[in-house]
Amino acid sequence: MTADKPLRADARRKREALLAKAREVFDAGEFFDLRFDDFASLAGVGTGTLYRHFPTREALAVAVYHGEVAALCDRARELQATLPPAEALATFLRGMVDHIDAHQGLARTLATLMATSSETLAEGGQALEQAVTDLVAAAVREGTVRGDANAGAVMMALHGIGAAHDRPDWRSEADGVITLVLDGLRSADG
């Protein structure tokens, strides 16, 4: 599939059906229990369609990952456009905890599949970090977040939250970490 050539409407619908089914299977933690060809029948398309869009299991995983990152970045821009900066940042970070919680199977599957494709993860990480950087910078300009705030530190906190998902009280602890991060970012005047 050529990235430059737009897909016909029916091809786009079939591709989206495959991606939606893959997300569902990833979230259920069943990605490795299925033959790759099974994705086609689960999505209601032929195996030729599957291989035309995604020649390998890894290609499907990469597409899902890029879609998730794009959705999160879009969410960050939407919040930045509609809420005051500090509120946009807080809402985004709390939403990230919701996303991590809802998509733990997806995260584990992608981490396993992409262990050999760190470039793909790095690209997504950079895009997400840029979204956080933009949210933090807007709150700094507003004066509600400290001038020395660092989006990299916020990203480290998010990574830590994700990595600790197996803890018994993960959700309440994750929410507490976000509260600590937001408190730590708050300017003395904010």
**Per-residue DSSP letter, 30:** -
Asked whether residue 107 falls in the same domain as residue 181, the answer is yes
Cα–Cα distance, 74 to 64 (Å, whole number): 15
pLDDT tens digit at each of 190 positions of the chain: 445 567 688 888 999 999 999 888 887 777 777 888 888 898 999 999 999 999 988 888 888 888 988 999 999 999 999 999 999 999 999 999 999 888 877 777 666 665 656 676 677 788 999 999 999 999 999 999 999 998 999 999 998 998 888 889 999 999 999 999 999 999 987 5
Residue 87 located in a structural domain: yes
Residue 91 located in a structural domain: yes
H or E stretch at 72: helix 57-82
| CATH code for position 86 | 1.10.357.10
Q: Which structural domain range is residue 20 located in? A: 1-55
Asked whether residue 30 falls in the same domain as residue 108, the answer is no
Asked whether residue 81 falls in the same domain as residue 167, the answer is yes
Asked whether residue 30 falls in the same domain as residue 76, the answer is no
For 37-67, what is each residue's pLDDT tens digit? 888 898 999 999 999 999 988 888 888 888 9
The b/e string for 139-177 (b: 16+ C-beta within 10 A; e otherwise) is bbebebbbeebebeebbebbeebbeeeeeeebeeebeeb
- Residue 2, pLDDT score: 45
**Per-residue DSSP letter, 186:** B
- Residue 1, pLDDT score: 44
Asked whether residue 31 falls in the same domain as residue 119, the answer is no
Residue 190 located in a structural domain: no
| CATH code for position 39 | 1.10.10
Number of Cβ within 10 Å of residue 127's Cβ equals: 15
The domain tally of the chain equals 2
Q: What is the pTM of this model?
A: 0.84
